[in-house]
């Protein structure tokens, strides 16, 4: 009898254990974030220099001529060349209505890039917060942003002929700085505090070098381009950027989901993790590398967008708790919501507030949202920092 009961209860019990983490708070967060992302995305596609009505723009988003034609979808996601190889299609792509063409080739990719950047930065921040066991850590605390920024400026000012490879160079700079920080922090092993301090030191030096480089710039155009990169901007992004970021985002987010249990054990502190048989140094480096990869994927397409990696994991943690499987999933949804919404602000701030036609870098908006949130945290929590 008992065996019968056990075998009946068995699969159900496993099922509930497998999906037990997907509870109401996480589901609510994901659905809420999704709704916000979609709403902000729809606002975003409704404005632009080509005038069309809001209804027209929204109809274009769901235009079956694109959504139901796998050639168009693949054309956007893979690029034209790869699309033709995959589908074996040699002819001309079917014509699209002008509003659809504008929405799909100019306005929507910006929303998608914003989504990818938001998800990457949020996941990256969540990883660094576990690795350093500090809630105030962000993708950029370990020198990643300063390294990327320095190489961006160096390229724009000294080696302008390499400007085409800027995304890759920026990502490489971020990774290089991270390695330098790790080497400085290493003294027969690292510690979260030493990593953060080394990050601050490297960041300060690189920041000075960056500021110094501004004085060598030839033209105001170069300076503006440099500022757009170092504050983070989504102006003028295209499907090309979606294609650059997408594979790395999938890889980084996949790895962080796989590594969620390791992150959870790291949260128990170095000593406990090590007595449980974890090779703490190796795991910390590997997980940091995943964090840098996610950050690099977003730097490569949008430059350095601050505060997203700090705020989003924090908000998500407050809602779903500290279990990293839930946290990473939450970040993948909440990150895009914040960044797509912030990008609407970046796009519309100048026209709405000043009546001009310019756009702000999105990093300025996230900074303006992030700063006060940071302050609020500081006032509210007695012990800030420890997870």
Partner 1 sequence: MSQSDTTPTPPYRDDEHTDCDETPDAQSALAAPAIGTEAEPDGTPFEAEDLVVGYPTSEEPVLDGESLVAAPGEVTALVGPNGSGKSTLLKAMADQLAPEGGAVCIDGSEVADMDAKDLARRLGLLSQENVAPDTITVEKLVEHGRYPHRGFFDGLTDEDRAAVDRAIDLAGVDHLRSRDVGSLSGGQKQLVWIAMVLAQETDVLLLDEPTTFLDMHHQLEVMEIIETLRAESDKTVVVVLHDLQQAARLADRVVALQDGGVRGRGSPEEVVTEELLADVFGIEAEVTRTDLGPQITPLRPLHDDAGADAHH
Provide the binding-site residues for partner 1, judged by CB under 8 A.
17-18, 188, 258, 262, 264-265, 267-269, 271-272, 274-279, 317, 321-323, 386-387
CB closer to partner 1 out of 238 and 270: 270
CB of 191 to partner 1, least distance (A): 13
Mutual orientation of helices 280-302 and 239-258 as an angle, nearest 10°? 160
CB of 164 to partner 1, least distance (A): 39
CB of 183 to partner 1, least distance (A): 19
Cβ burial of 252 (10 Å; 0-12, 13-18, 19+) is buried
- The nearest distance, CB 286 to partner 1, in angstroms, is 11
Q: What stretches of 215-321 show up as alpha helix (H) in DSSP? A: 220-231, 239-258, 260-266, 270-275, 280-302, 308-320
Residue 113 vs 280, nearer CB to partner 1: 280
User: Residue 156: which of 68, 94, 216 has the closest Cα?
Assistant: 216
Nearer to partner 1, 68 or 386 (CB): 386
> Least distance (Å) from partner 1 to the CB of residue 14?
9
* Residue of 129, 153, 130, 84 lying closest to 310 (CA atoms): 129
Query: Residue 235 or 274: which CB sits closer to partner 1?
Result: 274
Q: Which is nearer to partner 1, 17 or 161 (CB)?
A: 17
Cβ 252 to partner 1 shortest distance, Å:
17
Tell me how far the alpha carbon of residue 269 is from its chain's centroid.
26
Burial class (CB in 10 A: 0-12, 13-18, 19+), 187: exposed
Q: Is 40 exposed, middle or buried (0-12, 13-18, 19+ CB in 10 A)?
A: buried
> Shortest approach of partner 1 to residue 124 CB, angstroms?
19
CA–CA separation, 154 and 230 (whole Å): 12
Whether 109 contacts 242, CB under 8 Å: yes
Structure-block tokens of residue 387: 């997870």
For the bound state, the minimum distance from the C-beta of residue 283 to partner 1, rounded and expressed in Å, comes to 10
Q: Is the dihedral of CA 167, 338, 305, 352 positive or negative?
A: positive
Q: Which of 271, 379 has the CB closer to partner 1?
A: 271
Q: How far is the CB of 258 from partner 1 (least distance, A)?
A: 7
Cα separation values, 5 from 1, 9, 12, 20, 205, Å:
6, 6, 11, 21, 66
3-class DSSP state of 360: coil
How many angstroms separate the CA atoms of 196 and 300, rounded?
Answer: 23
């Amino acid at each position: 009898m008992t065996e019968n009961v056990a075998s009946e209860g068995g699969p159900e019990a496993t099922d509930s254990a497998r999906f037990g983490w997907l509870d109401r708070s996480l589901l609510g967060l994901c659905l809420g974030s999704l709704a916000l992302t979609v709403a902000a995305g729809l606002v975003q596609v409704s404005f632009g220099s080509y005038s069309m009505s809001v209804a027209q723009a929204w109809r274009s988003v769901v235009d079956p001529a694109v959504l139901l034609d796998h050639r168009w979808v693949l054309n956007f996601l893979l690029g034209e060349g790869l699309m033709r190889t995959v589908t074996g299609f040699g002819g001309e792509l079917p014509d699209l209505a002008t509003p659809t063409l504008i929405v799909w080739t100019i306005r929507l990719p910006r929303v998608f890039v914003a989504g990818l950047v938001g998800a990457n930065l949020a996941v990256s921040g969540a990883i660094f917060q576990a690795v350093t066991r500090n809630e105030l850590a962000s993708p950029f605390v370990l020198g990643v942003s300063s390294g990327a920024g320095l190489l961006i400026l160096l390229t724009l000012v000294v080696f302008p002929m390499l400007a085409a490879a800027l995304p890759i160079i920026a990502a490489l700079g971020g990774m290089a700085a991270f390695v330098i920080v790790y080497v400085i922090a290493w003294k027969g092993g690292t510690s979260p505090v030493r990593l953060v301090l080394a990050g601050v030191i490297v960041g300060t030096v690189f920041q000075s070098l960056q500021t110094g480089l501004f004085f060598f710039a030839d033209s105001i155009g170069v300076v503006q381009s440099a500022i757009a990169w170092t504050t983070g901007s989504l102006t003028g992004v295209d499907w090309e950027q979606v294609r650059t970021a997408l594979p790395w985002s999938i890889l980084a987010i996949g790895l962080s989901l796989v590594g969620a249990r390791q992150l959870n054990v790291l949260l128990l502190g170095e000593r406990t993790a090590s007595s449980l048989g974890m090779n703490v140094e190796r795991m910390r480096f590997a997980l940091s590398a995943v964090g840098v990869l996610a950050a690099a994927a977003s730097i490569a397409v949008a430059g350095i967008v601050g505060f997203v990696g700090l705020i989003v994991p924090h908000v998500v943690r407050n809602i779903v708790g500290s279990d990293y499987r839930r946290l990473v999933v939450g970040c993948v949804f909440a990150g895009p919501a914040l960044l797509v919404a912030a990008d609407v602000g970046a796009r519309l701030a100048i026209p709405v507030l000043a009546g001009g036609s310019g756009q702000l870098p999105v990093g300025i908006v996230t900074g303006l949202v992030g700063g006060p949130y940071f302050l609020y945290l500081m006032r509210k929590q007695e012990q800030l920092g420890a997870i």
